[in-house]
Amino acid sequence: MAAPGQPQKATYDAIVIGAGIQGSFTAYHLAQRRRDTLLLEQFILPHSRGSSHGQSRIIRSVYPEEYYSRMMPDSFRLWQQLEAEVGIRLYRQTGLVVLGPAGNEELEACRRSLGDSQVLDPTALARHFPGYRLQAGQVAVLDSTGGVLFADRALRAVQEVFRRRGGTVRDGEKVLRIEPGAMVTVTTTGGVYQAPRLIITAGAWTGPLVEPLGLRLPLQPLRIDVCYWREKEPKSTNTGSVSPCFLTVGLSQAPHGIYGLPALEYPGMVKNTPDKDFILDRHPKFSNIIIGAGFSGHGFKLAPVVGKLLCELSLGEEPSHNMAPFAITRFRDVLQSVL
């Protein structure tokens, strides 16, 4: 937050709304390209009102969707770059096990993204990870690159590098109005700012922000419960090493996938929660307004690449990955009349 009495600049090369992990990485990439960038956040940082807080997130190479799995090497590289820049460990490799019924379409797609050598039968799974058991008719796929990102630490790190590069963060400023134009005008509770490009990464608040711009996106904010289970016998799930992350697909007992992380946050416990596609695109009418939304619980690991893509879109550059799966035009009747 700007210090009291500090002169408030009004014009920037780019404005990013939302200082979660996606917006922070977008601002990070813009600053890396020497664009004078303002990162706006409605709450005082740090806060727990969005989806970027907490101690840990899963990172993995395996994905049933090929377009995500192709993005992951770039994401790993950028996470490593950030670690080197701040000199802090942001990722711990634990491996990830994907469990599901043999022949399940989603599981088969995961297997293909890694290769047949990563399939574990019950004996191999028990040997690698004694705490895990396959039921009859189930198989496991091992993603050895999988692990845990230290989320709060990572968010602080990317914002720190952004500031080092001359970026401006103004928190505690809620956006009241966005006025499109060659220079987009953003009015907040703390001031009025202008830039030739605006990137909106406001999480659950994205829908209300873009609706006055004539865009009704099918975004549904959801509250996800995070659960912890205490080990009955400490360290019973491993043999002296950290147990892997896990992900289930196609289980008849669960209406959706379940994933869990090892006991790194709170010793003796593991965390579970549920998991869909991003929106990364220009506004259909105002091409200098870029929108990143709908990260559906699996966007954190891809944030370095998402930020890079949003930066590229805002600068008119050729995106470094296939953007077709993330286009706004895949939804019908989203463009409304602008007030």
Write down the pLDDT at residue 338. Answer: 47
**Average pLDDT over every residue of 187-212:** 94
91: helix, strand or coil: strand
Burial class (CB in 10 A: 0-12, 13-18, 19+), 172: middle
Reported confidence tier of residue 294, pLDDT bands at 50, 70, 90: confident
**Average pLDDT over every residue of 162-185:** 97
Compute the mean pLDDT over every residue in the chain, rounded to the nearest whole number: 85
Write down the pLDDT at residue 234. Answer: 60
Write down the pLDDT at residue 271. Answer: 36
Reported confidence tier of residue 10, pLDDT bands at 50, 70, 90: very high
Q: Does the pLDDT value for residue 253 go beyond 50?
A: yes
| DSSP codes, 51-89 | SS-SSEEEE-S--SSHHHHHHHHHHHHHHHHHHHHHT--
Going through the chain in order, the beta strands assigned E by DSSP cover: 14-17, 37-40, 56-59, 91-93, 96-101, 119-120, 138-143, 147-150, 168-170, 175-179, 184-188, 192-195, 198-200, 227-230, 245-248, 258-261, 269-273, 279-282, 289-293
Q: Does the pLDDT value for residue 2 go beyond 50?
A: no
**Average pLDDT over every residue of 308-326:** 96
93: helix, strand or coil: strand
Burial class (CB in 10 A: 0-12, 13-18, 19+), 77: exposed
Strand 138-143 and strand 192-195: the pairing is unpaired
Q: Does the pLDDT value for residue 149 go beyond 70?
A: yes
